[in-house]
Amino acid sequence: MERFQKYYLSLIFLAVYAQISAQVNCSIYTDENCRKACEISNQASDAQGYSLSQLAFDTAIEICPTYDDAYFEKSVPYLKRGDFITWKKLIDKAVELSPNNHLDYRGWCKFQFLRDYKGAIQDFDQLEKYRPNNIGYSKNGDYNLYVVKAICYSALNQKNKAIQILENLYKTKDYHFGLYDYYQLGVTYFETGKYDKALENFEKQSKNYDFAENIYFRSKVSKIRNKDYLDLKSLALRSYDEGKTMKDAYTHHFNKVYRKQIAEL
């Protein structure tokens, strides 16, 4: 029983932790039903994934069918459990009601959960009409969505386009660099055979935050150039074992490198 309680409490803690930033200010709704729907939705989002929470979103939708966040919140557990058909129907409804607020999330999820590169680019392009020059950040906070858009072009083998987007973005005044920004540009250069530019970016990355994958690519460039790469390889493996790798709670990062790949270098 005690074991179960601990487990249950951990689940609640995680649910609250994951959703703590998702609370909507309900006072902005002048319609009483929609304000109530907002309050119900806020409360239900604290217990994400539980059936009572999902039923509460249904109630919110029933009393205010135009309340977009209830559709969005209801969609999330389906996404995380791999029921992408149900997720898509619900998130599409949220996007239809409020594209400005939900296209970022839909585009990010198309990329991160389904590697639907073209679908993600379409959403980001559509979002730009509502938010010119600032389409926001990925849900996990790791990327500016323009970086994700560039990654999508890279995955579609439009490497030069990806490089152009990233180079221009990084020159933007007051640009806030994400956790893996230089790494992603470095890998894209690497894939086009531009090792000087690749290394330049991996070095910049290492000054912000160094991790196993970034060290692995520096080692790889050294090996290609017939230079000593074994120290870097050892460092990459050590970093990997210390947990300094690209991490995500639900999926795997684009351009993630696994321990086995580093060991086989």
Partner 1 sequence: MDKDYGIQYYDYNNSNGVQYKGEKIEIIQVLEKLKLSSSKKINGYVTIRFLVNCEGKTGLFRIQQMNENYTEENLDKDFVKKLLDFTKSLNSWIPKEIQGTKLDYYQYLTYKITDGKVSEILP
- Establish if 238 lies at the interface with partner 1 (CB under 8 A): no
- Establish if 252 lies at the interface with partner 1 (CB under 8 A): yes
- Which backbone phi and psi does 174 adopt, to 5 degrees? 60, 25
Measured from the Cβ of residue 199, the count of other Cβ atoms closer than 10 Å reads 18
- Establish if 16 lies at the interface with partner 1 (CB under 8 A): no
Measured from the Cβ of residue 214, the count of other Cβ atoms closer than 10 Å reads 28
- Which of 173, 176, 207, 260: binder of partner 1 (CB under 8 A)? 260
- Which of 39, 167, 258, 265: binder of partner 1 (CB under 8 A)? 258
First CA to last CA across the chain, in angstroms? Answer: 48
Stretch that binds partner 1, among 75-83, 123-131, 214-222, 225-233 (CB under 8 A): 75-83
Taking the CA atoms of the chain, what radius of gyration do you get in angstroms? 21
Using alpha carbons, select from 129, 152, 132, 148 the residue that is nearest to residue 140. Answer: 148
- Rounded to the nearest 5 degrees, what angle is found at the Cα of 76, between the Cα atoms of 70 and 82? 145
**Complex with partner 1: residue 132 or 243, whichever CB lies closer:** 243
**Complex with partner 1: residue 37 or 79, whichever CB lies closer:** 79
- Which backbone phi and psi does 157 adopt, to 5 degrees? 65, 25
- Establish if 226 lies at the interface with partner 1 (CB under 8 A): no
- Establish if 3 lies at the interface with partner 1 (CB under 8 A): yes
Distances, alpha carbon 170 to alpha carbons 115, 163, 167, 250, in Å? 24, 11, 5, 27
User: Minimum Å distance from CB 107 to partner 1?
Assistant: 13
- Establish if 243 lies at the interface with partner 1 (CB under 8 A): yes
- Kindly list the residues in this chain that would bind partner 1 in the complex (CB under 8 A): 3-4, 6-8, 10-11, 14, 18, 49, 77, 80-85, 88, 113-116, 243, 245, 247-252, 256, 258-261
